[in-house]
Structure 1
């Protein structure tokens, strides 16, 4: 069994929690609060800047040209393609996309980005590759499922279409192949760290959606 099959099975409870979270069920129904989605979009703009930096660090650590290209392209997609998705929604909310990218990160966003950056700097390419995979795979999984359930004239259809798109699915499969190849070359301890990183980032994905749904911010300020 491939490494990605193992970690996907290990994340079964987390995946069920992601699918059943009201952020995603209400997004599919088109009933998700516009305020919650705006909160999500602003934080996702901040998150993607950090994620792109993590991918760039992955390209720097990559063992071969194919992996360098894959991580470099993914970093470009994170900035260009998803920024365009954000811009369309933020304009409808009357929020300047540039202002969104300089907003303050919430605890959930900051914790997720910092965990991945720390992994990128302090651990191996294999562990870094496993850490970035949930962002691809969970979004592709959620987008594909929601696409079959989406309400007619759904305000959130552009978001759904982005992550249900076959090109995003292909990118996810390529990243899974990178992770599996890295796992095959890794020893038992490194594979254990890969699994731990994958599961922790899957948990951060749930927390990110939950934080947006409840529009959480810092509970105390200086």
Structure 2
């Protein structure tokens, strides 16, 4: 029952998952046709998004039942604060977005909606609720990156977004995806019942729709 919970959730929300992973924003990344302004706006909001996700992993420490879960959550906090934030700032600089600009940004409604939803599910529920709410982002980016990297339709030469695709298709990120899927399954062995699955599926569906809205936010900015 607990095995491959992520795959069960994805299958239960196939339409929402496709709308997210095959969004026009993603197609633009693949073809190299996404307007530069759309990607820059996305990058700016993703900076603010990462800050809130660091808070979500900090909440996971509080929600943990044992030291192993606490250490895993702490690793997530440290990865974001000590590594991912610096990498994101550097990547934004490559797109002409200075760190000083990032520090003065206001959160878009779509950024607030998704990140606060994740935090709410974590505060109202337990660690499994929180990780399911985080999964569409953390795991979804890995699936999108891998799919685009393998597709013959993906433009390689002259595609300004190929570095983004390669980042999420990388062995390092794919290992993170595998680890998160395993972590969700381990949590499920202790916390999942069939009666609870529907509630988790609703959380997954909402988080997935909010991810699609985050893509659309970038397109709407152009």
Q: Deviations over 1:98-141 (max 9, x none)?
A: 43143111111110011111112221111111111111111001
Structure 1 residues without counterparts, runs of 5 or longer = 217-222
Between the aligned partners of 1:167 and 1:28, the Cα distance in structure 2 is 21
Q: Which residue number in structure 2 is paired with residue 177 of structure 1?
A: 182
Worse overlay, 198-207 or 1-10: 1-10
User: Which structure's relative contact order is higher, taking Cα pairs within 8 Å and 6+ residues apart?
Assistant: 2
Q: Which residue number in structure 1 is paired with residue 156 of structure 2?
A: 151
Are the equivalent residues in 2 in contact too, given 1:67–1:178 (CA < 8 A)? no
Superposed displacement of residue 162, structure 1: 1.5
**49, 52, 56: which one aligns with 2:54:** 52
TM-score, normalization: structure 2?
A: 0.88
Between the aligned partners of 2:163 and 2:203, the Cα distance in structure 1 is 30
Structure 2 residues without counterparts, runs of 5 or longer = none
1:117-156 → structure 2 map (5 Å cutoff): 117-148=119-150, 149-156=154-161
Between the aligned partners of 1:160 and 1:84, the Cα distance in structure 2 is 19
Are the equivalent residues in 2 in contact too, given 1:30–1:154 (CA < 8 A)? yes
**75, 78, 102: which one aligns with 1:76:** 78
Between the aligned partners of 2:21 and 2:137, the Cα distance in structure 1 is 14
Q: Secondary structure at the match of 1:211?
A: helix
Q: Deviations over 1:175-219 (max 9, x none)?
A: 112211222222344433322212211111111011112118xxx
**Over aligned residue pairs, what C-alpha RMSD do you find?**
1.9
Q: Deviations over 1:5-34 (max 9, x none)?
A: 210211211222123322111111112111
Worse overlay, 168-177 or 43-52: 168-177
Are the equivalent residues in 1 in contact too, given 2:54–2:81 (CA < 8 A)? yes
Are the equivalent residues in 1 in contact too, given 2:20–2:209 (CA < 8 A)? no
Q: Deviations over 1:39-65 (max 9, x none)?
A: 000000001100110011112211222
